[in-house]
A and B are shown apart, each in its own frame.
Chain A
Amino acid sequence: MSSTLSKIEKRTAYALLLPAVCLVFAIILFPIFANVWISFKEVGLKDIRIPEPRAKKIVKNIQDSNSELKIIYKLRNSSLIQDIREVRFSDKFPKNIDPINLDKRCEFKSQKVKCFFGDWEAGYRENFEILVQDVNNNAINSKDLKSSKPNLNGRSNNILLTKDFTLKNFKNVFINNNFFELLMTTFYFTFFGTLGAILLGIFAAQLVNQKFYGRTFMRSILLFPYVGPVVALAYTWTLLLDPNSGTINSLLVNYGVIEKPINLLGQKYLIVNILGFELKLRLALTTVIFFEIWRYFPLAFLFILARLQAIPRDLYEAADVDGAGPFRKFFYITLPQITAILSILFMIRFIWNFNKFEDIFLLTGGASGTLTLPISVYQQGFAVSNIGMGSAVSIVIVLLLIAFMIIYFKLIGKKANEI
């Protein structure tokens, strides 16, 4: 009895899970594996369109005859690079209308024209004509002729499904494209972005954890940067930082802080002179990191605030009795209580910042030294139009990600359950 019940339970569980699992498998897991396949192929953006035979139908009147019409099919191979084999064509004619002098490649049967065109090479074009006449010599309504659409099909290779593989993409990723610099930029961006967001999050959480007038208001506006759409926020910041008449540059010039506007998002290096040493600061990268911090510190803030509010009050009361000031309370009570959550937060945010695409893409598009791995996927795949290269970079990201996750679960996987 109980075994049948558990069988029913199992079956119900699988039935309930099936739709969600299928969808996630098709849209998330399948592409991750498909990346591996594509990354070993030499595929460009233009190759992925499957070549199709196409026909445009034009109906023309013939002078001094109402009962005869000329139909022109403009035939072409939609692809400029691939052949189509065994192209077949068919079109339907209205009743009582027959073709005259039909092309040898075609035959006419039960009001249907069927043709076999053979192979079309890449970029093939032909104007194919059929003369038609009404059997009873009545005037032909050309609308009737136009109403049917020709049907074409042919066989062609889907370049994604062939079995030609190459290591060229990976060679390009690791050797030709300054891979080390790409990796370092990604690392700088990720590390400092995460660190800054968490530090700012600690400050904000500590602030909101106190009582002051307007605290709830403060708490909601602290989440604005994350809740707002990235497109709007990124473009607002671009306008704020714009060197020609951007608000911040104009203000700084107006108050005489700087003489010339600084192109914060378009300048790769800023040379700073400290004690005779010339330091090259990655200016655009720094700006992008600051935007990143500004936009994502609310998440750190939420996480830390939740933890702060769970710290028992009596710890602070005991500290009050001992005469500890607010700074001591922070360093000796608050900080030890939140270190565990900070390490988890750091790992998770690190992984996520590592994958950030939108922010950098919208601010700089990867120019002036802000090219990170995710931007590189886009650039290779869609700007350079090399899908294979883009996939290869994706594979690098996935591998690094898996490495991070293993580290994460080794280091703090157990701790995460305790919290």
Chain B
Amino acid sequence: MKFKSLIITLLASSIFLAVVICIWKIMATLQGLSFTSLNFNLNLSLSLGLVTICVLIGKKFNHNLKIFILSLSFTILYTFLNENSPVWFSVGIFLLILFFTNKLKKYDLKYLNQDFISEKIVFEFLSLFAIVFFALVILFPFYIMFVTSFKTQASLLINPIDLSIDFSKNIFEIFKSYFVIFKTYDFGRYILTSSYVSVGTVLITLLFAIPAAYAVARLNFFGKTFLSTSILIIYMFPAIVLVIPLYTVFSQLGLRNSVEGLLIVYTATTLPVAIYMLQGYFKSIPKEIEEAGLIDGQNWFGIIIKIIIPLSLPAIASVSLYVFMIAWNEFLFSLMFLDNPKTFTLSRAINHLTGDAETPRQYLMAGSVVVTLPILLIFIYFEKYLVSGLTAGSVKG
């Protein structure tokens, strides 16, 4: 009998369960339940008991029936010992335990008797911890951003941790912040400007980058190696060192406060990485295809339009999405160049909202949702393309 692995299993799994229950409790607090204590010790001892019973029973019993009975009894005990809580909270606890005991399926005394098992167990629970940790740390701010945008100023002042959405109000009341930012703060115009700037940057970048990348990838000319190394070096220079000269020159040329000025700057800053990504892909296209095109009497222009572009659509999609993301999220240049509300981009508009300390936070969060949601949706939908763009461009960011 190996006690070491048994004890490790019991401890690791019960700590994990207790932590998960605490997180659930905190999330419930944010939905307006007034818990004032986490009762970590109580959770831990209850979990320890549950895990012990679960492991001792092992596979002597029908698994589904076992986890159901265990979860139900744990939930009843937990609800009985804890502060008053509504039904949905207990249902959540029940589902958590169900999921957890299902994870413990393979753990019985026989399994724990294997060689080298304890390290494996620790690793397994560390992975579970990591999943919970990453999911929580990443999604929590997005969640807060989203729910805060549905609150009202008064209810946030009364109880800042009650972020529940009041569904008894009518639709207009619930979405009030969104109506306000579109009506009073003119966010419709900013969305248009942002889309215009981002799509424009993508198009101009492609227009400049495809020929240049083709030349770097395929043609022989003097200074080729110098050019291809300097592309990456130029890419390393940050926007902040360009800002002052560009500001002065753009002021004198009257390009500040114009969308065209932004387009020029965004295109120039994304060009190096676009050329770099595209030329890598162009090199992978077999040369024979182009030679066939040359024999058919195509000139360089025809080869690029009729052969290179159709064959490298995936790479062009990656570059486009990556450039779109950069332009949509860009902040520094829009802060420097735009101070007329008529030319604001979304990022600049949100920054402008915070300039006024009186702006209620739910409006700010509604604006944040408006700027974040499109880019996240695009990312989720085109993840494959964007990830390859991000990996290639991840030297910068």
Chain A residues engaging chain B, CB cutoff 8 angstroms: 6, 9-10, 12-14, 16-17, 19-21, 23-24, 26-32, 34-35, 38, 43, 48-50, 158, 160, 203-204, 207, 210, 212, 214, 218, 220-233, 235-237, 239-240, 245-247, 250-251, 254-256, 294, 296, 299, 302-303, 306, 323, 325-328, 348, 351-352, 355, 357-358, 362, 374, 377-378, 381-382, 387, 390-391, 394, 397-398, 401, 405
Contacts and interface: CB of A to CB of B under 8 A. Distances in A.
B161 A32 contact: no
Contacts of B267: 23
Contacts of A212: 127, 131
A228 B160 contact: no
B212 A355 contact: no
A302 B160 contact: no
A373 to B, nearest CB: 8
Contacts of B116: 323, 325
A377 B268 contact: no
Contacts of B234: 24, 28-29
Interface string B168-203: 000000000000000000000000000000000000
Q: Taking each of A23, A227, A327, which has the highest tally of chain B beta carbons within 10 Å of its own beta carbon?
A: A227
B244 A35 contact: yes
A294 B133 CA distance: 12
A71 B71 CA distance: 91
Given A17-B212, A227-B376, A325-B119, 10 more contacts: A35-B245, A49-B251, A212-B127, A228-B142, A236-B141, A250-B160, A302-B387, A323-B115, A355-B240, A357-B240
Contact of A327 (B119, B208, B300, B347): B119
A289 B265 CA distance: 29
Interface of B: 26, 29-30, 35-38, 115-116, 119-120, 122-123, 127, 130-131, 134-135, 137-139, 141-142, 144-145, 148, 156-157, 160-161, 163, 208-209, 211-212, 214-216, 219-222, 224, 227, 233-234, 236-249, 251-252, 264-265, 267-269, 271-272, 275, 300, 325, 328-329, 331-332, 336, 346-347, 350-351, 354, 361, 364-365, 367-369, 371-372, 375-376, 379-380, 383, 386-387, 390-391, 394-397
B221 A10 contact: yes
Contact of B275 (A20, A210, A229, A362): A20
Contacts of B144: 236, 239-240, 247
A166 B235 CA distance: 31
Contact of B156 (A23, A245, A398): A245
A410 to B, nearest CB: 14
Contact of B264 (A27, A160, A210): A27
Contacts of A31: 241-242, 244-246, 249
Contact of B390 (A20, A223, A229, A405): A223
Contacts of B331: 229-231, 358, 362
B219 A9 contact: yes
Given A230-B329, A247-B30, A357-B332, A391 B245 contact: yes
